[in-house]
Structure 1
Amino acid sequence: MFFFGNDFWLGSKVLCSEITASGPMAAAFHLVRFTVKLDPAFTPYDRDMSLGVCLPAACSAADIQSLLETTTARTDSKHRMSLLRVRAIPGPYSLASDPKFHIMGSVVILVALMMIIGTIYEAVLERRQKLCRLRRSNNNESGVKPADKISFDKDDLTESETDLVNSVDPCRGLGLVSEVVLSFSILSNGRKILDCGPAGKDSLTCVHGLRFLSLAWVIMVHTYLQIFAIAENKKMRTLTEENFMFQTVANATFSVDSFFFISGLLVAYLYFKSQNKGEQSLRTPRTPKPLAVEAKSMTMKFLTLLGYRFIRLTPAYLFVLGCAELAMKWLKNNSVFEPISLDNVNCAKYWWRNALYINSLYPRSEMCMLWSWYLANDTQFYAIGVLLLLISSRFFRVAVSSLFMLLISSTITTALISYSIKHVVSVQEPFKFFDELYDKPWMRLGPYIAGIMAGWFVHRTKCSVKMSMLVNVSGWAVALSTLMFLVYGVRDANFGVTGTAMYISLGHTAWGAALAWIVIACTSGYGGWINSLLSCKLLQPLSRLAYCAYLVHPVIMVLTSFQMEGSLHINNNLCMILYFGNLVASFLLSFVISIAFEAPVVRLLKVCVTPMMEKQNSS
């Protein structure tokens, strides 16, 4: 197994502890990390090994290091063994004495109390509402004329109807404090998340399927990385990479492009949709305002929309960030493995970069929650997109020109960087140039712009594009061929440096353009079974949970794998079982996080901020 890639010779930490429990003397478990170099035919590169040793507790880490250094001193330059470090497991870290653990615990307790209070309060209100309806029904039967036969659902009442009900009926309207308390109710929040009812007439239902499938793809890739990190037969990875379908894992960078496309699509579509409603609500034609007044109004709208997004996303984000930091601290102290992640250090030092959504602008070695680079990029794109959309209401051509200039600049920049570092795309090293070509915003802007354009087009055509059979078939053929080529056209392509630069610079935008066709075709009635699949009602709850699932799934993976006592044996069947387990566990935990942190914040924003935004829009 050494020659098949096993770098973990860990013994048994659990059995070592059993010696202490049942044996004549206390024992302690230590992990030794060392580098081995044999004949080049056996070890073409230095191997970092992990050795678990169980010795009497009187032997300290320094004692073990002295013993091993005596052994390694006898090796020559051709066959050498270099000691790296010795550490006791568990180490000195104590989760219970960490102040951040107590802060996180206090937050959880406070939110749990609010959820309990809100749930009980809503249950009481629902019972009261039933009694009110029953009294109204009895009054109708006895000949007492009701004020109006209206629903007591506050969302369905107009302002005049609400005043009328409050004046003649004991079922009073809810005040601000009641709305705040109800924002934490598990009953209504859970119903909204799990609702599979019919969508609105102008809803882009196919987005639910695209979002869920993209996240499922991301989790699959991370599952393989999870297994590769603790595999005892690493040579099998080389064989696995030769499989044609492994490109699904190696080229999964496009799964995140789907998220960027969806974000741009919804931002543009909902913006123009709200603008259209605002114009229809005005009785008189809009008169142009002075440029200074218009600029001030745009600035306020921009800051309001940016603040709205920040408040909506950040609570769940920072909660998971705290969990990730504590989890990594615990693992570094207790695991027989050594995770390469530095969340235990970086999250404490650089959490503010995550909170400001600028962490993707820094090197990978300084990142906290490495996978959160997507959120930083998406927020930066949102700021650019909203700014251009606001400008488009007054200077449409300027906004469109700026959009195309950004797209061209992103494409050229990506090509130049790829060419300058002599990058050649390969299945074996998809993350080789992470800092240079993977996570930076100027590399990923293309699909977001494609989404903005698609959102404008779908709104402009009112989801009713007419096309011939030839155009329909040709469009689907080009779109699906593009998607398939980008994912499965790399293995034997031998692009070279120039070809790779073109593939990297144009591929992300091409992916977004192909998805744009899918959305346009599905919303216009030309999606067929693909639209039926993407618009399946059962995918709606999973789509709503996608944000929290994306945040939490890597934390689940590291806690699952690195707390194990031994390594895993790579096998495709095992990989798939672990994948489905990660998928289910991620969505189950995301439901808890969403119902505790995301859904209450969304409702609080609707109660406190939305009226202000509506007033601002109407003015």
Structure 2
Amino acid sequence: MIIICVMRVHIPDEIFLGICLPRSCGHGDAIKVTLSTIELQDERFGKHHLPRRIFLLDDKYLSGEYSYWKDPRVYIMIAVVGSVVMMTIVGTIYELWLISATRSKESNCKDSTSDQEMSSIHTEEMDSSKISECNGNHIAYSQGSLCVSDKILSSRMEKNITMASEAMSLTKKGVDEGIERLALPKSEVDLVLKPQRESFISKLLLCFSAVTNAKSICSLSVGADTIAPIHGLRFFSLLWVILAHTCLVAFQFSDNKTFRTRAERDFLYQTLSSGTYSVDTFFFISGLLVSFLYFRTVSKYDVHQLTFTSGGFKAKGIQFIGMVIYRFLRLTPPYMFILGLVEVTMKYCHDHGSLEPVATDYINCPKYWWRNVLYINTMFPLEQRCMSWSWYLANDTQFYIVGTIILIIAVNYFWLAAGMVVVFMLSAWSTTAVITIYTEHTPTTQDPFAHYDELYDKPWTRIGPYLIGMCLGWILFKTKCKANIKNWVLCIGWMLSMTALSLIVYSLYFFEFGPAASAVYVSLSHSAWALALAWIVFVCATGNGGFKLETFGADGEDDIHYAE
């Protein structure tokens, strides 16, 4: 057992020392050892004694009592990781088996088919007892030892089967029209056009398959019904977040403090100090997707059938609860796993490491973990938070709840929902401005996280970009991502957008704000940032962004337009 002591020595400048001593040493012993060591060095080298004073700033006892293997949380996390790994292995093996079986059946179909046999097959002679599945996704017709897949049928019997092949990839209306033209009995049509349903166990295993997930993660295809420009915004914003955090954290712990002072005078350093606006980009994207996907869903499906109600307030309440529960179940399990991992890791570092952890998660997480589960941790003081860096997830969930209420109301009472958006925006701006004046906050390059607890991570400061994203999502849905914008409007829009983004990022290099200007800048800059991004996304999503880059992927994908 050892004790870590941090002391300050005046001779006459300050010198900070850190020493390791046996646990048996006390506070006075640490000072005595330091004094005697300095005196011995002075006598040895014959130097003059300098006036000195030693202060014990902090001491830390490393008990080493905490052990991973005595913490039940560790065993829970090991069980979770083991279960996921096991499901991944089983799911991957299962999908590989399905792929192998499908290829084997397709090979058997091709080997048993000849041109002469194909010419003797007629659709009107099909019997439901002879229709079988040649593979998991395509129809097949079997007659004795003959097995014919839909691909071969469509190529050999265009006049009789073409409509059936096309109907498989059409909407429900197209399928119905194909059925009428084929004049087949309903039972036979279901067998021909519908693949076998996968069981729940099969779907569950495929969710964990490394093959399926690797294809999804590494896929570069963009669906025709997605908003392509948000992927570019995500990528550049993520790089911006990494760059800003890397540099700012390095400056905080580096020994050469004067280098940061010199760097802050550089114009390009404003890109780092203004990196906080990259988070507003993610809030904007989140609101955009929630709104766009919600309106698209309610336009395609009957909400009353989904909620098993006849409508009214009860249906809207069930819809709201269902959306919130879905988000909670999707985010909370991995979130809680990371929280447990941080807690046990910080406990071990505090009990065994010589350096004191910057965050007090080893104290706060056992006490206040429930605030993270409920996503209300940003409502409490910073010193009482577990994983303070998870503030974004808490704010985004709070915005999602508010946004869901607005969206559900907007379906039947659009102007009421629009009024709610205006009220929330004005309330957020005014609240932020009042707090800025009350705390005498002045935005500066030197300290972009000043008044972190009062302004930086509070929901009323950040909700503006989310609501603006929701408004853009509704506009894109109503316009079906199509708009004819005149060139002079495009020029003015791009100039205003780029000017706003540049002023937000680099204005602190040229101006020093007073109280009133600081209140305006802090309260409106986040929303102004989102408005500028909204223009970029709108013109690019509607095909007015500039040069066109065609994507090579699945059939039916739209072209993606990028800003020049």
CA RMSD, Structure 1 to Structure 2 (Å): 3.5
- Where does residue 61 of structure 1 map in the other structure? 23
Secondary structure of 1:82's match? Answer: strand
**Greater relative CO (CA pairs within 8 A, separation 6+):** 1
- Where does residue 311 of structure 1 map in the other structure? 329
Return the letter of the residue paired with 1:120. I
8 A Cα contact 1:211 1:259, kept in partner:
yes
Mapped to 1, the partners of 2:303 and 2:68 lie a distance apart of: 58
8 A Cα contact 1:209 1:536, kept in partner:
no
Deviations 1:61-89 (A, max 9, x none): 342643323378999xx964321333366
- Where does residue 102 of structure 1 map in the other structure? 75
Return the letter of the residue paired with 1:184. F
8 A Cα contact 1:37 1:81, kept in partner:
yes
Mapped to 2, the partners of 1:295 and 1:50 lie a distance apart of: 67
- Where does residue 416 of structure 1 map in the other structure? 434
Q: 2:275 aligns with which of 239, 252, 274?
A: 252
Structure-2 change in CA distance of 1:52 and 1:234 (3 Å): farther
- Where does residue 261 of structure 1 map in the other structure? 284
Q: 1:121 aligns with which of 94, 97, 118?
A: 94
Q: 1:51 aligns with which of 10, 13, 18?
A: 18
The structural deviation recorded for 1:120 is 0.9
Between 1:28-37 and 1:337-346, the stretch displaced more is 28-37
Secondary structure of 1:87's match? Answer: strand
Return the letter of the residue paired with 2:376. I
8 A Cα contact 2:5 2:59, kept in partner:
yes
- Where does residue 221 of structure 1 map in the other structure? 244
The structural deviation recorded for 1:98 is 2.6
- Where does residue 523 of structure 2 map in the other structure? 505
Mapped to 1, the partners of 2:72 and 2:413 lie a distance apart of: 52
Mapped to 1, the partners of 2:540 and 2:190 lie a distance apart of: 45
The structural deviation recorded for 1:37 is 5.5
In the TM superposition, what are the counterparts of 1:85-96 in structure 2 within 5 Å?
A: 85-87=58-60, 91-96=64-69
Structure-2 change in CA distance of 1:525 and 1:418 (3 Å): same
- Where does residue 396 of structure 1 map in the other structure? 414
Structure-2 change in CA distance of 1:88 and 1:453 (3 Å): same
Mapped to 2, the partners of 1:37 and 1:201 lie a distance apart of: 69
Between 1:502-511 and 1:520-529, the stretch displaced more is 520-529
The normalised TM-score by structure 1 is 0.71
Mapped to 2, the partners of 1:495 and 1:79 lie a distance apart of: 44
8 A Cα contact 1:93 1:333, kept in partner:
yes
4+ aligned runs moved over 6 Å, structure 1: 71-75, 148-151, 154-169, 279-282
- The answer on 1:205 being equivalent to 2:203 is no
8 A Cα contact 1:423 1:500, kept in partner:
yes
Structure-2 change in CA distance of 1:149 and 1:481 (3 Å): farther
Mapped to 2, the partners of 1:37 and 1:377 lie a distance apart of: 46
Q: 2:209 aligns with which of 181, 185, 195?
A: 185
Identity in percent: 36
Return the letter of the residue paired with 1:276. S
Structure-2 change in CA distance of 1:35 and 1:303 (3 Å): farther
The structural deviation recorded for 1:168 is 9.2
The structural deviation recorded for 1:238 is 2.1
Return the letter of the residue paired with 1:239. R
Larger radius of gyration: 2
Q: 1:235 aligns with which of 258, 265, 268?
A: 258
Mapped to 1, the partners of 2:496 and 2:54 lie a distance apart of: 56
Between 1:329-338 and 1:144-153, the stretch displaced more is 144-153
The structural deviation recorded for 1:100 is 1.8
Return the letter of the residue paired with 1:108. V
Mapped to 2, the partners of 1:424 and 1:519 lie a distance apart of: 31
- The answer on 1:133 being equivalent to 2:106 is yes
Secondary structure of 1:34's match? Answer: strand
Return the letter of the residue paired with 1:271. Y
Secondary structure of 2:508's match? Answer: coil
Mapped to 2, the partners of 1:280 and 1:109 lie a distance apart of: 39
Structure-2 change in CA distance of 1:300 and 1:79 (3 Å): farther
8 A Cα contact 2:288 2:472, kept in partner:
yes
Structure-2 change in CA distance of 1:528 and 1:96 (3 Å): farther
Gaps of 5+ in 1: 1-27, 54-58, 283-288, 538-619
Gaps of 5+ in 2: 39-50, 122-129, 139-167, 180-185, 554-564
Structure-2 change in CA distance of 1:31 and 1:242 (3 Å): farther
Return the letter of the residue paired with 2:206. L
The structural deviation recorded for 1:528 is 2.6
8 A Cα contact 1:72 1:80, kept in partner:
no
Secondary structure of 2:481's match? Answer: coil
Return the letter of the residue paired with 2:454. E
Mapped to 2, the partners of 1:435 and 1:518 lie a distance apart of: 32
Deviations 1:351-405 (A, max 9, x none): 1111111111111111112121100110110111111111011111100001111
Mapped to 1, the partners of 2:376 and 2:364 lie a distance apart of: 14
Secondary structure of 2:59's match? Answer: strand
Mapped to 2, the partners of 1:85 and 1:260 lie a distance apart of: 41
The structural deviation recorded for 1:486 is 0.8
- Where does residue 322 of structure 1 map in the other structure? 340
Q: 2:506 aligns with which of 472, 475, 488?
A: 488
Return the letter of the residue paired with 1:357. Y
Mapped to 1, the partners of 2:552 and 2:530 lie a distance apart of: 22
Mapped to 2, the partners of 1:72 and 1:302 lie a distance apart of: 65
Deviations 1:258-311 (A, max 9, x none): 1110001011111111222237999xxxxxx98xx4111011111111111111
8 A Cα contact 1:204 1:523, kept in partner:
yes
- Where does residue 174 of structure 1 map in the other structure? 198
- Where does residue 152 of structure 1 map in the other structure? 136
Mapped to 1, the partners of 2:299 and 2:96 lie a distance apart of: 38
Return the letter of the residue paired with 1:381. F
Return the letter of the residue paired with 1:96. W
- Where does residue 557 of structure 2 map in the other structure? none
Structure-2 change in CA distance of 1:506 and 1:168 (3 Å): closer
Secondary structure of 2:7's match? Answer: strand
Secondary structure of 1:491's match? Answer: helix
The structural deviation recorded for 1:202 is 2.9
Mapped to 2, the partners of 1:256 and 1:72 lie a distance apart of: 47
Mapped to 2, the partners of 1:29 and 1:536 lie a distance apart of: 63
Mapped to 2, the partners of 1:51 and 1:222 lie a distance apart of: 27
- Where does residue 453 of structure 1 map in the other structure? 471
8 A Cα contact 1:306 1:383, kept in partner:
yes
